[in-house]
Chain A
Amino acid sequence: MCLVLFGTVVQSGPSLVAAETAVSQADLKRIFAGQAPRNVAELKAMQDHTQRLAKKVTACTVGIRIGAAHGSGVLISEDGYVLTVAHVAMRPGMVAHVIMPDGTTYDAQTLGLAWLPDASVLKLRDADKKWPHLELGDSSSLQKGQWCAAVGHPGGYDGERPPVFRLGRVLSLGEFIRTDCQLVGGDSGGPLVDMEGRVIGIHSRIGTSLTNNQHVPIAVFQESWDRLIAGEMWAFPASPYLGVRGSDNTNTAEIASVAPNSPAAAAGVEPGDVIIGFGKHEIATFRQLQHHVWTRKPEDKVELKIQRGDKVITKSVTIGSRSE
């Protein structure tokens, strides 16, 4: 097993392992691939390796500031591509401030975004500088129990604190990699690395459990690389959609127009109808109707109570979806 340090392959051997131990490189590889260390000798071998890993990965982890948003990112090429998440980048063509571990700030531009997978790429403006960077790993060959490390800026970049290093293990695989490297707001966009320091994921979200920390698999970036650097934006989350427009009358939810082929059209809603009930909610204004539509998900079935002329009728509508 070779440890790639700063682009140079360092042939590993007994000198990298604590002298008094009999822990071989094969043993260490076996542990990192998904096993528990068994004794102090193995813990020491892990520690020696992890201390070096931390230095290498921390050096390429950046803070990102875009408008009021604070997140993290990772340098992955000598010419200055930085990976982060869509929910930090927000839009192509935004000015991003990239903060290196030593606090120096550089300008970058956001390129493409894939919203649902939560992937995005930035490019640093300085084309002449040779940027320190990490190699990309292979997220499709990850194993449960595999050891990994997460670096980022929890809480946002803090000038009095370098990027924060955490060790953990891969717990499950799927649309997102889940690990027990604890993450919190500000970490978004930072790197998840394998024990060789290759980027295998990008921090995206957390759940209530301390073991629910989710990372975008690096495969997402690799597979859509061309689209990302071309500045494309795709895979928007679907918004719940009815397909009606309200009239100027702000005292009622009077429908001015119904979009053709919309869920409202399919349900038989007509211009001039006044919506007075949405499911179990009474509706008095168009804004209230909008609010209640927004609490639903596409595919939900809802009963609309409608005042049409002097009659009250009900229509059943299936909420649709709209990608912006």
Chain B
Amino acid sequence: MDSRRRITVLVALSVVLSVLCIRQLISERPRFPDPFLVATDTEEASTKPMSSRLWRRYSRSRPAMQIGKNHEQVREAFVDVVAGANPATVQIMHDDKAVALGTVVDSGGLILTKASELPKEIMCRIPGGLRREGKVVASDEDYDLALVQVEAPPLTPAEWSTENAPAVGSWLAAPSGFTDDPLSVGVVSVPPRRIRPESGVLGIWLDDSDNGPRVTHVIDGSGAEVAGIRVDDIIRRIDGDLIDSREKLTSTIRKRRPGEQVWLDVMRATESIRVQANLTRYSDLVPDEEVMQNTIGGPISERRSGFSEVIQHDSLIQPHHCGGPIVDLEGHVVGINIARAGRTATYALPSHVVRERLDLMRAQLNP
């Protein structure tokens, strides 16, 4: 899958860059210039992101991990905590590989999951081990949610918390669906807040000209390059809207997200052509200190911004654990993990947001 391969390449690139840049000091970008010295690896260091399958073996074999917060001894204390939500946790697979977790929302076989990293063909491994083909029947792009239908014996739906989101410092646990102890535990790091969407970029440098913004450079690997945009092209319209200046182009594109597509009307010498271009993140095109540091130690979700409300916590999960429930110490489902956002942060959509969006998605279903 394209975005996963891209992430793998990015992680590999980040790891290579981090090893080469061990002495690198201050970066120029005002937002992320903390010259965090990436320490030379000690015997604990690992350059491979940790899959959930390997986690157990890893934690048993490394002395330091045996005293860590995620050691199985700690996670075992949470067995009763996740017992209620475990049967409501489903593994979503593609080609025998886990691509997401899902949260059962209806005993009739409706499962909620993270939408953006789902391949077309998915198989749900429900508690008990049964595998059933899953079909996406509704989706919510704003919140990156999808409803998947499976034909299965009655499933146990999640019990949603109706309380306010847990306070900073509260324990959270992520059931795995197929083990007694949770996948991961952590604490709430930041109270619920909005995560602004990231802006997409075309990947071009521009000059103003009499006829409109003129392309002076096309960045390698950018959506513009792939769409065939060339130096000296003049961008006249974006999705039909007239663009008369570099500033207008920038402000128009800035409102769009990475992954979105735009139609460009372009003047090339005397020719008028129309192309569709994909928008990407700027940090996908140019090595970025922030992304590099955030992907040291493990991959992050591709869609990790643009959520109206998330609970941020410090549980260690992988992108393919998103879509699963998280519970508080009462065993109530307080949210679903929606993104591994960085080295320090995992985002979950709070229960009340999930329930609202669920109602809207159900309305999309055939009666």
On chain A, the residues within 8 Å of B298 by CB distance are 210
Say whether B67 contacts A212, CB under 8 Å: no
Q: Does B335 contact A (CB under 8 A)?
A: no
**Separation in Å of the B215 CB from the closest CB of chain A?**
30
Bound Cα distance A261, B71 (Å): 54
Say whether, besides A156-B31, A161-B190, A210 and B36 are in contact (CB < 8 Å).
no
Q: Does A36 contact B (CB under 8 A)?
A: yes
Query: What DSSP secondary structure best describes chain A's contact surface?
Result: mixed
Interface string of A122-155 (1 = CB under 8 A from B): 0000000000000000000000110100000011
Say whether, besides A164-B344, A165-B169, A211 and B68 are in contact (CB < 8 Å).
yes
Say whether, besides A47-B171, A69-B33, A87-B37, A180 and B68 are in contact (CB < 8 Å).
yes
Say whether A165 contacts B344, CB under 8 Å: no
On chain B, the residues within 8 Å of A44 by CB distance are 329
Q: Does B191 contact A (CB under 8 A)?
A: yes
Query: What DSSP secondary structure best describes chain B's contact surface?
Result: loop
**Separation in Å of the A111 CB from the closest CB of chain B?**
20
Q: Does A263 contact B (CB under 8 A)?
A: no
Bound Cα distance A208, B171 (Å): 26
On chain B, the residues within 8 Å of A212 by CB distance are 39, 41-42, 44-45, 297
Say whether B344 contacts A207, CB under 8 Å: no
Q: Does A188 contact B (CB under 8 A)?
A: yes
Say whether, besides A37-B77, A68-B28, A164-B344, A185 and B68 are in contact (CB < 8 Å).
no
With beta carbons under 8 angstroms apart, the residue of B44, B77, B189, B342 that contacts A166 is: B189
Interface hit among B102-110, B204-212, B288-296: B288-296
Q: Does B119 contact A (CB under 8 A)?
A: no
Say whether A207 contacts B329, CB under 8 Å: no
Q: Which residue of A lies closest to B29 (CB)?
A: A68
Interface residues on B, range: 35 or more
On chain A, the residues within 8 Å of B344 by CB distance are 154, 164, 166, 182-184, 187
Say whether, besides A42-B77, A184-B342, A206 and B293 are in contact (CB < 8 Å).
yes
Interface set, chain B 306-342, CB cutoff 8 A to A = 312, 314, 316, 329, 342
Bound Cα distance A183, B297 (Å): 11
On chain A, the residues within 8 Å of B65 by CB distance are 211
Q: Does B18 contact A (CB under 8 A)?
A: yes
With beta carbons under 8 angstroms apart, the residue of B33, B45, B169 that contacts A50 is: B169
Q: Which residue of A lies closest to B28 (CB)?
A: A68
Say whether B167 contacts A51, CB under 8 Å: yes
Q: Which residue of B lies closest to A42 (CB)?
A: B77
Q: Does B121 contact A (CB under 8 A)?
A: no
Q: How many residues of A contact B (CB 8 A)?
A: 62
Say whether A172 contacts B35, CB under 8 Å: no
Q: Which residue of A lies closest to B30 (CB)?
A: A68
On chain A, the residues within 8 Å of B101 by CB distance are none
Bound Cα distance A3, B148 (Å): 49
Selected A-B contacts with CB under 8 Å, 30 pairs: A39-B77, A43-B171, A50-B169, A50-B171, A50-B187, A54-B167, A69-B35, A70-B30, A70-B34, A145-B67, A154-B345, A161-B193, A165-B314, A166-B189, A168-B69, A172-B44, A172-B64, A180-B69, A184-B294, A185-B32, A185-B36, A187-B34, A207-B42, A207-B45, A208-B15, A208-B45, A209-B41, A210-B50, A210-B343, A212-B39
On chain A, the residues within 8 Å of B190 by CB distance are 161-162, 164-165
On chain A, the residues within 8 Å of B360 by CB distance are none
Say whether A171 contacts B67, CB under 8 Å: yes
Q: Does A40 contact B (CB under 8 A)?
A: yes
On chain A, the residues within 8 Å of B80 by CB distance are 39-40
Q: Does A38 contact B (CB under 8 A)?
A: yes
Interface set, chain A 168-215, CB cutoff 8 A to B = 168-172, 178, 180-188, 204-212, 214
Q: Does A55 contact B (CB under 8 A)?
A: yes
Interface set, chain B 30-67, CB cutoff 8 A to A = 30-42, 44-47, 50, 64-65, 67
Q: Does B26 contact A (CB under 8 A)?
A: yes
On chain A, the residues within 8 Å of B25 by CB distance are 87
4 further A-B pairs in the complex, CB-CB below 8 A; given A70-B30, A154-B342, A185-B32: A37-B74, A166-B314, A188-B34, A212-B45
